[in-house]
């Protein structure tokens, strides 16, 4: 596992040579690294600023920068937490390897016009995990808060046999001055496909019950509502 700190340069030592694909000298190989956040699935790409291929591992250096650039090893991973990394081997025919948007693939699926000075993604040579810790003094704490309005609707069971979209009714908040939330849904191939909050309501202290009526179903669908809202407290910078 790679250990790193947010807003800080970091090095990675990854086994890649055992899985080498292209039959070219090491000076014609670069590695494109894809970082995918486990929480929000954000994706970042970068070629290392520096790369040294040894017998047992490849040393890669990445630098923190507020303006990322995948071709110069500049990266700004957000948020902190766990990331999956995938390392892709990219090879060149030309000895003079240049990393730029016109000569190096931007992603693992990017295909450039065939030319000696343009890189080709050969395939994946390593996968693993990166843990990105918060920079000291900038930690964040997540907490759940009652937002008093409907934040999300979840299709627990899509039902079967719907001819038309059923009417979605969200129970009233039951508090003086509160407003009832409203929602609609769509049906595709006889099942509930999407549900949309058209008005979140107000004054809710517990998750309201959602009722579906009409639509000519064979088996009734089930939708639940949540008034919980995730928030973060930030410390330091």
Is 138 within a domain?
no
pLDDT in tens, 112-152: 999 999 999 999 999 999 999 987 655 556 656 677 899 99
Considering the chain, what percentage of its residues have pLDDT values greater than 70?
92
150 closest CA partner among 64, 210, 216, 90: 210
Note whether 47 and 25 are same-domain residues. Answer: yes
Q: Which residue has the tokens 């049906």?
A: 187
Largest distance between two CA atoms of the chain:
75
User: Among 24-28, 132-136, 214-218, 228-232, whose mean pLDDT is lowest?
Assistant: 228-232
CA distance 71 to 143: 37
Q: Domain containing 82 — which CATH number? A: 2.60.40
Note whether 28 and 61 are same-domain residues. Answer: yes
| Tokens linked to 13 | 């030592």
pLDDT band per the 50, 70, 90 thresholds, residue 233: low
Instruction: Identify each DSSP E strand in the chain by its residue range.
Output: 2-5, 10-14, 29-37, 43-46, 50-53, 58-64, 74-75, 81-91, 120-133, 140-146, 152-157, 167-170, 182-188, 191-199, 210-213, 222-226, 228-234
Predicted confidence (pLDDT) at residue 2 exceeds the cutoff of 60: yes
Rg (CA), the chain: 25
pLDDT at 79: 86
Q: Which domain-ending residue is among 79, 112, 133?
A: 133
Predicted confidence (pLDDT) at residue 27 exceeds the cutoff of 50: yes
pLDDT in tens, 183-221: 999 999 999 999 999 999 999 989 999 999 999 999 999
Q: Which domain-ending residue is among 82, 102, 133?
A: 133
CA distance 91 to 103: 11
CA distance 63 to 12: 11
pLDDT band per the 50, 70, 90 thresholds, residue 230: low
Note whether 150 and 126 are same-domain residues. Answer: no
Considering the chain, what percentage of its residues have pLDDT values greater than 90?
73
The pTM (predicted TM-score) of the whole model is 0.58
Task: Kindly report the average pLDDT of the chain as a whole number.
Answer: 90
């Amino acid at each position: 596992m790679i250990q790193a700190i947010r807003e800080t340069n970091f090095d990675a030592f990854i086994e890649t040579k055992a899985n080498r694909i292209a039959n070219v000298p090491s000076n014609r190989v670069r590695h494109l690294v894809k970082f995918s956040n486990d929480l929000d699935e954000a994706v970042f790409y970068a070629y290392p600023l520096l790369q040294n291929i040894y017998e047992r591992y490849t040393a890669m250096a990445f630098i923190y920068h507020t303006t990322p650039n995948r071709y110069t090893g500049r990266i700004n991973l957000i948020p902190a937490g766990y990331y999956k990394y995938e390392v892709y081997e990219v090879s060149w025919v030309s000895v003079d390897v240049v990393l730029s948007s016109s000569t190096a693939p931007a992603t693992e699926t990017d295909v450039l016009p065939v030319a000696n000075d343009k890189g080709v993604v050969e395939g994946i040579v390593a996968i693993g995990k990166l843990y990105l810790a918060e920079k000291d003094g900038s930690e964040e704490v997540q907490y759940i808060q009652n937002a008093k309005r409907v934040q999300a609707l979840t299709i627990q069971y899509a039902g079967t046999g719907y001819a038309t979209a059923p009417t979605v009714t969200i129970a009233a908040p039951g508090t003086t001055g509160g407003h009832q939330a409203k929602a609609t849904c769509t049906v595709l191939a006889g099942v509930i496909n999407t549900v949309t909050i058209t008005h979140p309501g107000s004054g809710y202290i517990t998750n309201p019950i959602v009722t579906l009526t009409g639509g000519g179903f064979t088996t009734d669908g089930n939708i639940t509502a949540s008034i919980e809202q995730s928030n973060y407290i930030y410390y330091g910078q």
